[in-house]
Amino acid sequence: MLDIDHFKKINDTYGHLEGDRVLKKLGQLLISQSEKTDLVSRFVGEEFLIFRPNTNRDDMLLFCKKLHVLMADIVIGTISLKGSIGVSFFSERMTFDDVFTQADSALYNAKELGRNRTEIYSNN
């Protein structure tokens, strides 16, 4: 789960049309970086979901690191786009709701720890 950090500032400073352009650019970026088996979707507001089946922790962290770098190349006026990412992994007996809840928790953790970072869900 990816959420654009301080998206309200973009809308407030440059207007909602520019905010919409940013969302489209980010969506295009996510699709361009996805694999054939990935599912990329805008969820709500400035949040996106990326389902990447059959990946491991190290590969997912590399993918997220790459997204952070590429997002920073999207510049709106004086604002360089940044985002927080929360990651969860499916395991046996988990439902979609379980994975979603865990990714959401990891996303909030990323925001609490300073934003513009990736956190992986841990139940510790």
Q: Chain centroid to CA 40: how far?
A: 10
Of 18, 46, 92, 112, the catalytic one is 46
| Edge-to-edge strands, sheet with 2-4 | 39-42, 47-51, 2-4, 83-87, 118-120
| Cα–Cα distance for residue pair 109/100, rounded to 1 Å | 14
Residue 46 a catalytic site member: yes
Residue 33: CB atoms within 10 A of its CB come to: 14
Contact assessment for residue 72 and residue 40, using Cβ atoms and an 8 Å cutoff: no
CA dist list (Å): 110 to 1, 19, 87: 11, 22, 10
Q: Which are the catalytic amino acids? A: 46
